[in-house]
Every structure is written in C-alpha cells, then in structure tokens.
Amino acid sequence: MWSLAWPWALLALPLPILINHLLPESSSVQDAGLRVPNFGGFAVLADRSQVEQLLSWKLWVAALAWILLVLAAARPERIGDELEVPVSGRNLMLAVDLSSSMGQKDFELGARRVDRLTATKAVASDFISRREGDRIGLILFGERAYLQVPLTLDRETVKVLLLEALIGLAGEKTAIGDAITLAVKRIHDLKEDPGEQVLVLLTDGANTAGEVQPLKAAELARQIGLRIYTIGIGAEQMEVSSLIGGRRNINPSADLDEATLTAIADMTGGRYFRARDTAGLQDIYQLVDKLEPAEEPEAGFRPVKSLFYVPLAGAFALSAFLGLSALLQNILARRASGVQADVV
C-alpha cells in the first residue's frame, strides 16, 4: 500500500502559478519595424522563433521538476504487510525433578499407567506451548542441578530437551535447594532488566542432597523478586502386591515434604499445589497460566519504507538537465553572434 506521510505538502503545487500572477509584468517594448541591413538579420528572427519554442519546452520540464520536488516533500512511502511483533513477557524457569522416585508408576495417561516423569513431560509440554512471549528456561535436578536450557524464546527447543530427560540423569537423590539457587543465579546474571521472574518447581520428595538448604535458597529468591510456584507430585494411595500374597494399599508420596514446599512458595509470593493425578497436574498448570498470564499479542506492525528520494532524484536530474541546456544555449548563442559579426 502506498501513502503520503505529509500530504499537506501538495498544497505547494500551484505556488509558481500564484507567484506568476502576483508579480508585476515586465515591460515589453517592441519596435514597430525592424531595420535589416543584410540577409543575416533574418537569421536572428528565425533564432527568436526557435528560442520561444525552446522556452516553451523548458517550461514543461521545469513544471515536471517542481511537481517531483513537491511530491518528495510529501514523503511518499510504501507500507508493507502486517508483521507479528514479538512480545516481551516474563522470565519463566521450569525446574523438574529427575530423582529415582519420579519413576513411580502412579499416574495414568491415555488409559495407561505411566510414571510421574512421563506424565509431567506431557502436561508441562502443553504448558510451554501456551507461554507465547515468555523467555523459558529448563532446570533438571536430582542429586545435582543442571541448567538444561537457558532462558530463550525458542519454546520448541525447551519442549524437545524436556522430553529427552531421563530418570536418574542428574542423580538418584533430590537437591531442591540447589535447583532454586541455580534459577536465582541465572536470573541474577541477566544484564538487561529481568522484568517478571517466575520459577515453577516440580518434585515428588524432600531435599536429600545439595549444598544449599531449600529455605535459604528461597530467601535468596525473594531478595531478587523471583516468585516460586511449587508442585508436589504423586498419588496418595496406590495398590501393590503384598509379600505374603494378596494386595495392599500404600502411600507412594510418603516422602513428599509438603511443609517445606509450602514455605518456599509463601516466602517468595508464589503458591504450593498438590498434583495427585494427571488431571490434577493439568489443572495446576492451567491455574499457573491464570496466575501468571502470558502477554497479550500487541497490535500488528507494518514496516514502512520511505521513498521520498525517488521523486527527489528525478527533480534534481531534471534541474541539472535544464541547467546544462541553458549553458549549451548560451554557448551556441555566442557562436552565432560571432558568425553574424563576421558577416556584417
């Protein structure tokens, strides 16, 4: 689409005509007769007729140059197709427990029993897909905490590396404090304004490893404004085979330290959630979406390319042509005058 940034500049188009009418006319005195001493004088009359034609032609060229100059002043521009503008959201870190207890098969996914990590991957992947505009990072922790993906807008990469995570990859135990500390460090190292900062930490146990205690790490998170949403995952009742025959019910989440997870969330301004099954885990991530809504898409952006230089170049080219024509005319007129003087 084409448009003019300053269309009011076109009002200057009739300016030369107005000036021509407003200025006083030049006095033109014509002799009633012309004394011609020889035939060379008739050549002068012929030259006058040619000059008038030449002036008429130059007038049209000058008018075109003026039109192009005014058009350049109106700043013509080409507006491109609407483009999506990346929105600036929050820094959102995901910390996922890979300890051995995450292999407990007390969740169902698609009518089949799966382990906790598999259910987490499925639900968290959908959560990541919905976080358009957020910079997402992934921390995997067990006995140690590792930054699997630094903060990035590339959600597909985060999902792929989450799906490739394996139980026991980071050790058999659980270092909740180290996972939080690593998230704090990554946020603190950001050189630009970090903006909104959120950590979603999912675990099924208690802190049994690591160098930093969870509550101490939560205090560090609170100091930099990192909100932590903790999720305790695991069923509360599960039927297993008994050693003496038959079946019995057990609590597979007996080691879950809900008190510490709740304290971490409360200290940092977040919330603690309990996920007892896949549906509950999905509801939790949807609730986190509501508590930490993704940025609304901004109005579309249309790139604008200014093209004022095109008519401006044309005006300069025509002006230069008129200048050269006038110079050439003067040279020819001088030569003609010299020839007539020789004839006389």
> Does pLDDT of 305 surpass 50?
yes
**DSSP E strand stretches across 256-314:** 272-275, 304-306
C-alpha to C-alpha distance for 261 and 12, rounded to whole angstroms: 73
Using pLDDT thresholds of 50, 70 and 90, give the confidence band for residue 242: low
Q: What is the mean pLDDT of residues 30-50?
A: 49
Per residue in 288-302, pLDDT tens?
A: 888 888 665 555 566
Per residue in 42-54, pLDDT tens?
A: 454 445 555 455 5
The maximal CA–CA distance of the chain, rounded, in angstroms, is 145
Predicted pLDDT at 322: 81
> Does pLDDT of 6 surpass 90?
no
Beta bridge partners of residue 141, listed in sequence order: 97, 145
Predicted pLDDT at 3: 81
C-alpha to C-alpha distance for 218 and 269, rounded to whole angstroms: 10
* DSSP label at residue 119: H
* pTM of the shown model: 0.62
Q: Is there a contact between 139 and 145 (Cβ–Cβ < 8 Å)?
A: yes
- Higher-confidence residue of 101 and 82: namely 101
Q: Write the burial class of residue 47 (CB in 10 Å: 0-12 exposed, 13-18 middle, 19+ buried).
A: middle
Q: Is there a contact between 123 and 278 (Cβ–Cβ < 8 Å)?
A: yes
Q: Is there a contact between 196 and 90 (Cβ–Cβ < 8 Å)?
A: yes
Per residue in 256-268, pLDDT tens?
A: 899 999 999 999 9
Task: Report domain 91-291's class.
Answer: alpha beta
Amino acid present at 124? A
Using pLDDT thresholds of 50, 70 and 90, give the confidence band for residue 121: very high
Q: What is the mean pLDDT of residues 29-44?
A: 49
Per residue in 191-241, pLDDT tens?
A: 665 568 999 999 998 999 999 999 999 999 999 999 999 999 988 876 666
> Does pLDDT of 135 surpass 60?
yes
C-alpha to C-alpha distance for 268 and 58, rounded to whole angstroms: 79
Using pLDDT thresholds of 50, 70 and 90, give the confidence band for residue 334: confident
Predicted pLDDT at 297: 52
Domain layout of the chain by residue ranges: 2-17+39-80+303-343, 91-291
Which residue carries 């007729």 as its tokens? 49
> Does pLDDT of 339 surpass 50?
yes
Other Cβ atoms within 10 Å of 49 Cβ, number: 9
